[in-house]
Amino acid sequence: MMRPLLGLIVLHLLFVNACAAIPDAQSVEDTGPPITATPPVTATPPVTVAPSPAPTQSFLPTASPARVVQAAPPISDVVVEMLPQPSLPTATVSAIPTPTPRSPDMPPRVGLQIGHLRSRELPDELAHLRASTGAVWNGLTEAQVNEAIAVQVRELLIAAGVEVDLLPATVPPGYDADAFIAIHADGGAPSARGWKIATPWRASAASQMLMAAVAATYGAITGLPEDRNGVTINMRGYYAFNYRRHTHAIARTTPAIIVETGFLTNAADREVIVSRPDLAARGIAEGVLNYLRQRDPTDGAALLPPEWPILYTTTAATVYAGPADTTRVIARVPADSRVFVFNQQGDWYEAMIRAGDKRYQGWIRVDQTGVATTSPAGPAAEPPVTNP
């Protein structure tokens, strides 16, 4: 008896969502983001998704069969509970990697992390980040802003047939998905503004493709400027990316980005990220959907981040701003400086180099580095673990 009615409701929801989900950068620009003075809302009424048959061919709205949306408890209380089986990350990252096989008829799965949400509940291994509650403006916390956006990204992705996990600051051990997006907002001087996106230090081709896809839609849909050169060590060293050091981190093969959606401390940015979280959400969701359409789900190699052994400088060496000795000199470092490599171009490594207490990010000649024969003194020197 209920079925026809249910079908109508579902069709209606799909229709509404599909309309809302179609991006049109031009129309956004034409209209201009309407600005409302309404105070921020912590979260739109959350939804929960009942199990449903997997789409047969595509995750696009038309192919998505019945998904029943129903009322649910507040999102902050339900975000983590429905997650895949925890699995410990492999102890030795140098082992032959094996991306998790996906069956072709499975809907893609995406993790949306609400930056700083319940950071007090971070596990012992991340206890030093429990007090990292992010930016604040006028009593409005970054976690509230991140949540309002993430909830709407989730709705858009679900409408397109994607399975979504909303995650708090604590990432389930070895979290494995087709994409992981950490959603944050920035704080700084009142004049600082704009969005930026970063991959982990060692970025797989898939992570780079995901970043490019979201970068292509976020600015166009929100109208916010890109904070060029704003990507920081803090973003690339994001704790949830660091599967080498933490159990509560994404899996090595999960494509991942961190999005700084804008500055909570800037009035113009707030007009979008606080007053129009729907725009910010569309900017993210459309990019993620484009990535999922463009990628080859059978290309396991694209999921593998590059790996290098632990290296040290074999001689006094120079760190340059680019892969050539004609570029700006960033620092001169002594022999036995720790070199954390995350990219290579020809004879040059792009790396984080630690000399004493200082860390430098730049380019260093491959032939001035080597695997340590003895263990140089001093602490292990990977990039710092951060929560911007």
Residues near Zn ion, by CB under 5 A: 115, 134, 184, 388
For the bound state, the minimum distance from the C-beta of residue 143 to Zn ion, rounded and expressed in Å, comes to: 8
Report strand pairing: 163-167 vs 140-141: unpaired
42-81 burial, b if ≥16 CB within 10 A, otherwise e? Answer: ebeebbeeeeeeebeeebbbeebeebebeeeeebbeebbe
CA–CA gap between residue 5 and residue 11 (Å, rounded):
10
CA–CA gap between residue 181 and residue 175 (Å, rounded):
12
Query: Under a CB-based contact definition with an 8 Å cutoff, are residues 333 and 319 in contact?
Result: yes
For the bound state, the minimum distance from the C-beta of residue 182 to Zn ion, rounded and expressed in Å, comes to: 8
CB nearer to Zn ion: give 174 or 388: 388
CB nearer to Zn ion: give 44 or 232: 232
CB nearer to Zn ion: give 84 or 187: 187
**Alpha-carbon separation of residue 187 from 204, 215, 276 (angstroms):** 29, 20, 18
CB nearer to Zn ion: give 196 or 354: 196
For the bound state, the minimum distance from the C-beta of residue 109 to Zn ion, rounded and expressed in Å, comes to: 24
For the bound state, the minimum distance from the C-beta of residue 224 to Zn ion, rounded and expressed in Å, comes to: 16
CB nearer to Zn ion: give 163 or 227: 227
CB nearer to Zn ion: give 134 or 383: 134
Total Cβ atoms within 10 A of residue 87 = 13
Residue 98 contacts by C-beta under 8 Å, 6 or more apart in sequence? none
Measured at CB, which residue is nearest to Zn ion?
184
For the bound state, the minimum distance from the C-beta of residue 227 to Zn ion, rounded and expressed in Å, comes to: 14
Q: How many CA atoms lie within 13 A of 207 on its CB side?
A: 27
CA–CA gap between residue 289 and residue 275 (Å, rounded):
24
Query: Under a CB-based contact definition with an 8 Å cutoff, are residues 336 and 326 in contact?
Result: no
Of the candidates 253, 221, 270, 318, the one whose C-alpha atom is nearest the C-alpha of residue 101 is: 253
CA–CA gap between residue 322 and residue 307 (Å, rounded):
20
CA–CA gap between residue 257 and residue 41 (Å, rounded):
25
CB nearer to Zn ion: give 135 or 339: 135
For the bound state, the minimum distance from the C-beta of residue 166 to Zn ion, rounded and expressed in Å, comes to: 16
For the bound state, the minimum distance from the C-beta of residue 183 to Zn ion, rounded and expressed in Å, comes to: 9
Query: Under a CB-based contact definition with an 8 Å cutoff, are residues 355 and 331 in contact?
Result: yes
For the bound state, the minimum distance from the C-beta of residue 261 to Zn ion, rounded and expressed in Å, comes to: 10
CB nearer to Zn ion: give 122 or 319: 122
CB nearer to Zn ion: give 175 or 238: 238
For the bound state, the minimum distance from the C-beta of residue 51 to Zn ion, rounded and expressed in Å, comes to: 33
